[in-house]
A and B are shown apart, each in its own frame.
Chain A
Amino acid sequence: DAGVIQSPRHEVTEMGQEVTLRCKPISGHDYLFWYRQTMMRGLELLIYFNNNVPIDDSGMPEDRFSAKMPNASFSTLKIQPSEPRDSAVYFCASSPMRGADTQYFGPGTRLTVL
């Protein structure tokens, strides 16, 4: 299995621009998680889905952030408009329904907002 796939791996954009991060979970996994990692705040859970349905989005920092999961094999995290403080590494993770606790992480997208 290819594991969790994220794209792009690196994104540099200017303040005010729209940013879309993409994730393909491991086939057959029913949970999908979006995390953000910064030096200051550590690893933060932004939102997670179960069977394509958002379950908990309490970690989404502002209305500028939105996430979708239109099908079991694809999810997006969108920031519009982006701000310099959004600069971070964004991770996607997936987990099977059985043994739902073991999460498998993607390689991350390093976002820099200038």
Chain B
Amino acid sequence: AQSVAQPEDQVNVAEGNPLTVKCTYSVSGNPYLFWYVQYPNRGLQFLLKYITGDNLVKGSYGFEAEFNKSQTSFHLKKPSALVSDSALYFCAVRDIGSSNTGKLIFGQGTTLQVKP
């Protein structure tokens, strides 16, 4: 079965410092991986996705993620954090095992706190 894990409930970083939010996955075939962000009292917003090709994927708001097949990881990164980046971040993997391919499996989420 497909699954995704976010090992950290919360990540704290100072403004201006680089940030990393971790995600590992488990799939039977080739993974399709996603990052979403949720600001307080809002719905989830798509940040970026990896389907195939370059292992470094660039997304919205200066975020990027690196796909590492050998480590089965898809960590979210940003070179310089902003206070406004503080939010809940979700990693997700596409369920390719089902007969219909629309379904995503989400991790539990990681709260990112950026302090001034």
A interface with B by C-beta (< 8 Å)? 4, 31, 33, 42-43, 45, 48, 50, 55-56, 91, 93, 95, 100-108
Contacts and interface: CB of A to CB of B under 8 A. Distances in A.
Contacts of A45: 103-104, 106
A67 B102 CA distance: 18
A48 B101 CA distance: 11
Most buried by A among B32, B43, B51: B43
A103 B46 contact: yes
B49 A101 contact: yes
Nearest to A4: B43
B102 A107 contact: no
Given A101-B49, A102-B49, A95 B43 contact: no
Interface of B: 32, 34, 36, 41-46, 49, 51, 90, 94, 98, 100-104, 106, 108-109
Contacts of B42: 107-108
B94 A105 contact: no
Given A42-B108, A101-B49, A108 B43 contact: yes
Q: Is the interface of B mostly helix, strand, loop or mixed?
A: loop
Given A42-B108, A43-B106, A101-B49, A91 B100 contact: no
Contacts of B106: 42-43, 45
A50 B106 CA distance: 19
Contact of A55 (B36, B44, B100): B100
19 contacts: A4-B43, A42-B106, A42-B109, A43-B44, A43-B106, A45-B103, A45-B104, A50-B102, A56-B100, A100-B101, A101-B94, A101-B101, A101-B104, A102-B34, A102-B46, A106-B43, A107-B43, A108-B42, A108-B43
B60 to A, nearest CB: 12
A54 to B, nearest CB: 11
Contacts of B104: 45, 101, 103
Contacts of A101: 32, 34, 49, 51, 94, 101-102, 104
A56 B44 CA distance: 21
